[in-house]
Amino acid sequence: MCGIVGYVGKNKAQGFLLSGLRRLEYRGYDSAGIATVANDGTVTLIRAKGKIDNLEERLAENRRQDNVGIGHTRWATHGEPDEKNAHPHRAGDIYLVHNGIIENYKELKKALSGYEFASETDSEVLAALIDSFYGQGKYSLTDAVVQALKLVRGTYGIAVISGRSPEEIVVARSGSPLVIGVGHDETLIASDASALVGHTKRAIYLNDGEVAKLTSNSIEVRTLNSEPVSAKVEEIETNLAAIQKGGYEHFLLKEIMEQPKSLAETLRGRVNSKNHTVHLGGPELSEAELRKIKHLIIVGCGTAYHAGLLAGYYIEQFTPEITIETVIASEYRYRAAYIPKDSVALIVSQSGETADTLACLREIKKQGIKTIGIVNAIGSTIAREVDGGTYVHVGPEISVASTKAFTSQTIAMVMFGLTIAQAKGVKNVILKPYIDEIVKLPEEISRVLETAPQEVEKISKKYAKYEHSIYLGRDTAYPTAMEGALKLKEVSYVDANAYAFGELKHGPLALVDDRFFELAFLPKGPLYDKSISNVQEVMARGGHVVVVTNDDAFDMPVESVVKITTSIELFVPILMNLVSQLLAYYITIEKGYDVDQPRNLAKSVTVE
């Protein structure tokens, strides 16, 4: 959560800081601020409550020529989202931006004398702590930061400036990402590389426990124990087009519509459609290791968790003698779960930075279990800490609600399952239908996206007036229902819950009344007729039922139907999920809410 930027170089800092914050706004948008320092040591601090637009208005009244500065866009943890709690925070000579949580800030605050705290934040306490060392006059800015961080418990990505050292920025990380952009006579920083695109292609990803002193033409990285680190410069792969709206009004719609292409990227070079095999290089497991796998643990949060659930349903269909457990990272990290030694864990994360997922990864590794990442963000912490992995390669996902990542995460995990099945000698005749459909899927998605947006937009006008909804499905359509309900609630604020059809009679059926609509997923298949009966039960109680089905002949008198025409069968729930994504999008537009930046949320959840 929270976005951090920094600039030291030949140009005016405010320009990059503002454009960088705009790119990182998806990480938090409760308040924003910028501090710049002039050559003579004068520091200008400008902060505003709310989105970056408000900050920009303030900056327009206070243009600065300064070449060094730091900026922040906030997702509130300690203290409400107002200006006094906005970053940068100042204490004495120190200006600081912080992403993360300082757990022992209350103790530290008590021990700090002579500071009057203007905010309720843990970050201001960290600024004061650094200043308490810097103020002694015997520490350089970097050393003062290091001394302070040695006393801190918690997570942080920080950037610090001071009028007393006007030509440098000091950054450090532990648990919250920080990327250093290496330019010509300029050095930039950001919480993620997307803010650096168009400025430099070269980046250093700071590791936990590292601190760096940055000037316009030098980067000195060391550990908190003062050991020098020779940092690796890596190439940023993202291009400008990938982080722009490309003609769409919103990132959410762009990302929904991108799915044929983004899934094709996930599949590129990994599926052999002639001999019906899958090859994933990244997991780095030998055939013998794959053969030995008896248990698969799939770990994720939110949409990534739903992708794991859905993939689990598929993998168990074709992989013999294997148990699959898909778990919510925030729960699993505190469970005393025993993991059998013949397990492999799939760690699923679009951002690669989700705090709970990362914590699970570390816990699971401690037990000596092999971890495989299913990650999108290249170079992210999870991608770097797993034993092996498969990037989904969907490109930047900027809208806060995850869409294209879900589709590719699911298929990437199914492909991993297929590699296990291949190694275990499962007959080609069993695996071929899955592989054939995976190859067809980008085109099938494309076909659905030709007509579904218009159809869904039409019905969304009717359902935007409801405050409650129930999403229903069974088997592979059940995780699809869960993901659909999450999408609707997070962007449109409509109360949406998913139930397995079979569970209806065990309680949720009592909810059905005129305040609710019910979205029922009915893929053709062995459980189709049973699901139809469940729909009838809802209709008999006056439900407002919307059916999504691939049955051309469907003719029940439900309120609305969205028919999907497709030649595939197994992965129809993935196509149905496109309808959920579009419904969430159009209902939100109808209600007039900010579909890319829903209230209270942030894209990457780097705090617990």
What positions carry a catalytic annotation?
2, 603
Q: Nearest Cα to 77, choosing from 125, 42, 9? A: 125
Using the rule CB under 6 A, is 238 a contact of ligand F6R? no
Q: Which of 211, 209, 90, 191 is nearest to 141 (CA)?
A: 211
Q: Is 460 in the site for ligand F6R (CB under 6 A)?
A: no
Give the residue at shortest CB distance from ligand F6R. Answer: 302
* CA proximity to 408, closest of 444, 375, 451, 447: 375
Task: Give the range of 5-13, 208-216, 295-303, 469-477 binding ligand F6R by CB under 6 A.
Answer: 295-303
CB nearer to ligand F6R: pick between 252 and 278: 252
Q: Please state, in angstroms and rounded to a whole number, the distance separating the CA atoms of residues 394 and 242.
A: 10
Do 287 and 317 contact (CB within 8 A), yes or no? no
Positions in 469-498 near ligand F6R (CB under 6 A): 486, 490
Beta carbon nearer to ligand F6R, 48 or 401:
401
**123 lines the binding site for ligand F6R (CB under 6 A):** no
> Which position has the token pair 């906005």?
86
Q: Which two tokens stand for residue 158?
A: 């920080």
Q: Does 191 bind ligand F6R (CB under 6 A)?
A: no
Q: Is 354 in the site for ligand F6R (CB under 6 A)?
A: yes
For position 581 contacting ligand F6R by CB under 6 A, the verdict is: no
Which one of 138-146, 154-162, 199-207, 298-306 is the stretch in contact with ligand F6R (CB under 6 A)? 298-306
Q: Which of 28, 44, 68, 34 is nearest to 191 (CA)?
A: 28
Which among 246-254, 343-351, 360-368, 509-517 is the span making contact with ligand F6R, rule CB under 6 A?
343-351
- Draw the binding track, 395-424, toward ligand F6R (x: CB under 6 A; -: no contact): ------xx----------------------
Site membership for ligand F6R, residue 357 (CB under 6 A): yes
CB nearer ligand F6R, residue 168 or residue 483: 483
CB of 304 to ligand F6R, least distance (A): 4
Tell me if 82 sits within 8 A of 30, measured CB to CB. no
DSSP 3-state assignment of 336?
Answer: coil
- Residue 298 contacts residue 413 (beta carbons within 8 Å): yes
Distance in Å, CB of 339 to ligand F6R, minimum? 20
Give, to the nearest 10 degrees, the angle between helix 13-24 and helix 52-60: 160
319 is a site residue for ligand F6R (CB under 6 A): no
Q: Which listed range, 53-61, 94-102, 302-310, 420-428, lies at the site for ligand F6R (CB under 6 A)? A: 302-310
Q: Is 605 in the site for ligand F6R (CB under 6 A)?
A: yes
Close Cβ partners of 276 (under 8 Å, ≥ 6 residues apart): 428, 431, 432, 435, 436
Q: Please tell me whether residue 272 adopts helix, strand or coil conformation.
A: strand
350 is a contact residue toward ligand F6R (CB under 6 A): yes
Q: Which is nearer to ligand F6R, 349 or 534 (CB)?
A: 349
CB of 581 to ligand F6R, least distance (A): 10
Run of H or E residues at 446: helix 428-463
Among 132, 216, 303, 390, interactor with ligand F6R by CB under 6 A: 303
CA 439 to CA 546: how far, in whole Å?
30
How far apart CA 572 and CA 104 sit, in angstroms, is 49
Cα dist. 211→13, 143, 158, 481 in Å? 22, 10, 9, 45
- Alpha-carbon distance of 289 to 581, in angstroms, equals 38
Distance, in Å, from the CA atom of 550 to the CA atom of 568, rounded to the nearest integer, reads 9
Q: Pick one of 214, 301, 324, 441: the residue that binds ligand F6R (CB under 6 A).
A: 301
Residue 448 Cβ vs ligand F6R, minimum distance, rounded to whole Å: 20
Question: Is the CB of residue 156 less than 8 Å from the CB of residue 89?
Answer: no
Choices 136-144, 236-244, 346-354, 561-569 (CB under 6 A): range interacting with ligand F6R: 346-354
Its sign, for the CA torsion 484, 487, 488, 489, is positive
**Residue 302 or residue 379: which is nearer to ligand F6R going by CB?**
302
Q: How many residues bind ligand F6R (CB under 6 A)?
A: 15
Give whichever of 397 and 437 is closer to ligand F6R, judged by the CB atom. Answer: 397
Does position 349 bind ligand F6R by CB under 6 A?
A: yes
Q: Contact positions toward ligand F6R, by CB under 6 A?
A: 301-304, 349-351, 354, 357, 401-402, 486, 490, 604-605
